[in-house]
Amino acid sequence: MQNDIQEVLITEEELQQKIKELGRTLSEEYAGRTPLVICVLKGAFIFMADLVKAITVPVEMDFMAVSSYGASTKSSGVVKIIKDLDVSVEGRDILIVEDIIDSGLTLSYLIELLRNRNAASINVVTLFDKPSGRTVNLEARYTGFVLPDEFVVGYGLDYAERYRNLPYVGVLKPEIYSN
């Protein structure tokens, strides 16, 4: 698996340090409240696990699975709900935890959905942002790292469901895509 990586973009140490910082900031933002933290599966599951451990206020958690990519590396623009939330968001302070924002289509769809379900507030924390890929006007309130317009894997992010378990984020060797 390590042999398939051409370049490490963000190391495990850099990831862990940034997530601790985000946790501190979010603990201040949500002081006195109990946000409902929503993990967007599958890519955000490792980020979610580390982030909630760095948050010191009480939180509730739920998980949602959406798909817009299949095995391709480009967004189809069609967002499908694979698994919906278990709990109601009505009147709740929502923190959406995303792995990466590229076109912004997935997130703008989710935000609209949660607004229509009458959430009290909606914030987004994304670990990675690729602003050059944006096709809709959208910005996360909190961003870990800004990335160049390259397809990345690791720390939850996959190519064809593999590489999610790498503890760092990197770029695959080009020959992997042609296999």
Catalytic residues: 102
In angstroms, what CA-CA distances link 85 with 16, 62, 128? 27, 6, 23
> Is the distance from CB of 42 to CB of 156 less than 8 angstroms?
yes
125-164 residues in contact with Mg ion (CB under 5 A) are 158
As a whole number of angstroms, the distance between CA 96 and CA 14 comes to: 22
Which residue, 14 or 158, has its beta carbon nearer to Mg ion? 158
Q: What is the nearest approach in angstroms of ligand XMP to the Cβ of residue 118?
A: 24
153 binds, among ligand XMP, Mg ion, none (CB under 5 to 8 A by kind): ligand XMP
Query: Nearest distance from residue 97's CB to ligand XMP, in Å?
Result: 11
Q: Between helices 45-53 and 12-29, what is the axis angle to 10°?
A: 60
User: Residue 68 binds what, of Mg ion, ligand XMP, none (CB under 5 to 8 Å, by partner type)?
Assistant: ligand XMP
Binding residues (CB under 6 A) for ligand XMP: these are: 43, 68-69, 75, 98-107, 151-153, 157-158
How many positions of this chain bind Mg ion (CB under 5 A)? 1
Choose the contact partner of 103 out of ligand XMP, Mg ion, none; CB within 5 to 8 A by kind: ligand XMP
Tell me if 129 sits within 8 A of 147, measured CB to CB. yes
Closest approach of Cβ 127 to Mg ion, in Å? Answer: 14
Torsion of CA 2, 156, 99, 121, to 10 degrees: -160
Is 12 or 158 the residue whose CB approaches Mg ion more closely?
Answer: 158
In a 13 Å sphere around the CA of 34, the CA atoms on its Cβ side amount to 5
Distance (Å, whole) CA 126 – CA 100: 6
Q: How far is the CB of 16 from Mg ion (least distance, A)?
A: 22
Where on the chain is the footprint of Mg ion (CB under 5 A)?
A: 158
